[in-house]
């Protein structure tokens, strides 16, 4: 290229912060949906850390970062790998390409690039430079520039996904214990997730008044915003015993409104005001490996959804009702064919039992949590 865009200030910290603000202002839509906010946010952070402006995308490098190098800091301050699957990486790249596609159709974006060009160059040189940047940007954004190889699997081994049997569910629910505040919270979280099939993010977002809603007269859990921005109600049916653990946690934590599941302060005797995130749900699950086929295995939040679905089906629950409760992508099509379902028809069978007797659970009201 014969000309170059004006160089930015060299003060490292100030430059990075200024660069991040500019990248955020350009790349983040005014009213982003949940996926855009998350995916573009990750990309903006990475782009700014690389010292690159929004008009200097490098999706092949970002693809490699997501697949092989991405990491995060856990709640203990340790750096842990947080790489993404090829399918999720493709979804991130598609969101980024979609945003750039919107930007490159805006005349004000082209005007902004003209403002960044060297004012000493002629108008023709500035126009040639901007045209060159647009061409380079579009080339880099083309799917062929950052391909992601997907292997189509004809069969999926049982070891890749866990679907717990009822006795394994009981072992998992008992793992945290209920004598201390952290264990009681984790027991309540795991129990509610396996008895409702909700996602990690949905569990993290639960508010106290979501716990006791009704569908056709049936006590139900409300998911305010599931995948695809869809709200749904999940009847508890005979699995409403999970609320005994949740109620015990809320009582001991002193929570009456707001987020159900919250972080616990150092010392383990009080809770934070804000709710936890989906990553914290993953961290909690990673704290309680259980024995499966003679080996310790970590149970992921999504394994609890599979466990709910498999056991509900095995115990005779209709597949379409399971889909409605899980909030799968085919929900609208399914409902259009079968119509609205009564809450009583959709509550799950009594496929799990609380590992603690009801008398022990009742004593939690007056139990001292150390």
Q: Which tokens is 243 given?
A: 């609320």
- Give the pLDDT of residue 2: 41
Domain positions in the chain are 12-145, 165-297+359-365
pLDDT for residue 86 is more than 50: yes
Note the pTM of the prediction, 2 decimals: 0.59
Query: 3-state SS string over 87-151?
Result: HHHHHHHHHHHHHHHHHCCCHHHHHHHHHHCCCCCCHHHHHHHHHHHHHHHHHHHCHHHCCCCCC
- Per-residue pLDDT band for 333 (boundaries 50, 70, 90) equals very low
- Per-residue pLDDT band for 3 (boundaries 50, 70, 90) equals very low
Neighbour-count burial of 279, counting CB atoms closer than 10 A to its CB (0-12 exposed, 13-18 middle, 19+ buried): middle
- Per-residue pLDDT band for 309 (boundaries 50, 70, 90) equals confident
Mean pLDDT over residues 157-186, rounded?
88
Max CA separation in the chain (angstroms): 85
Q: Which residue has the tokens 């890749």?
A: 160
Which region holds residue 303: left if phi is over 0, alpha if psi is between -120 and 50, else beta? alpha
Q: Which of 144-148, 151-155, 164-168, 335-339 has the lowest mean pLDDT?
A: 335-339
Q: Could you tell me the CATH superfamily of domain 165-297+359-365?
A: Intergrase catalytic core (1.10.443.10)
């Amino acid at each position: 290229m014969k000309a170059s865009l004006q160089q930015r200030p060299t003060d490292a910290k100030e430059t990075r912060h200024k660069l991040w603000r500019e990248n955020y202002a350009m790349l983040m839509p005014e009213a982003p949906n949940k996926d855009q906010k998350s995916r573009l946010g990750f990309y903006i952070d990475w782009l700014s850390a690389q010292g690159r402006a929004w008009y200097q995308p490098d999706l092949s490098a970002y693809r490699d970062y997501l697949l092989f190098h991405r990491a995060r800091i856990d709640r203990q301050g340790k750096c842990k790998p947080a790489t993404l699957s090829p399918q999720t990486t493709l979804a991130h790249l598609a969101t980024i390409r979609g945003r750039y596609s919107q930007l490159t159709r805006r005349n004000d974006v082209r005007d902004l690039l003209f403002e960044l060009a060297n004012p000493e160059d002629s108008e023709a040189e500035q126009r040639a430079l901007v045209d060159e940047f647009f061409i380079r940007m579009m080339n880099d954004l083309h799917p062929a520039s950052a391909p992601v190889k997907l292997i189509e699997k004809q069969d999926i081994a049982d070891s890749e996904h866990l679907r717990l049997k009822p006795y394994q569910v009981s072992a998992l629910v008992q793992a945290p214990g209920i004598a201390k505040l952290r264990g009681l919270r984790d027991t309540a979280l795991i129990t509610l997730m396996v008895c409702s099939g909700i996602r990690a993010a949905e569990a993290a977002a639960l508010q106290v008044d979501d716990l006791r809603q009704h569908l056709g007269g049936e006590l139900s859990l409300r998911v305010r915003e599931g995948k695809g921005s869809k709200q749904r109600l999940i009847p508890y049916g005979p699995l409403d015993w999970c609320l005994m653990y949740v109620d015990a946690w809320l009582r001991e934590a002193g929570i009456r409104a707001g987020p159900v599941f919250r972080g616990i302060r150092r010392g383990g005797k009080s809770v934070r005001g804000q709710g936890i995130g989906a990553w914290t749900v993953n961290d909690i699950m990673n704290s309680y490996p259980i024995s499966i086929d003679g080996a310790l295995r970590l149970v992921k939040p999504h394994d609890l959804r599979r466990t709910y679905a498999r056991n509900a089906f095995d115990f005779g629950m209709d597949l379409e009702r399971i889909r409605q409760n899980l909030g799968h992508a085919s929900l609208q099509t399914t409902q259009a064919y079968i119509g609205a379902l009564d809450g009583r028809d959709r509550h799950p069978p009594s496929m799990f039992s609380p590992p603690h007797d009801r008398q022990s659970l009742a004593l939690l009201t007056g139990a001292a949590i150390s």
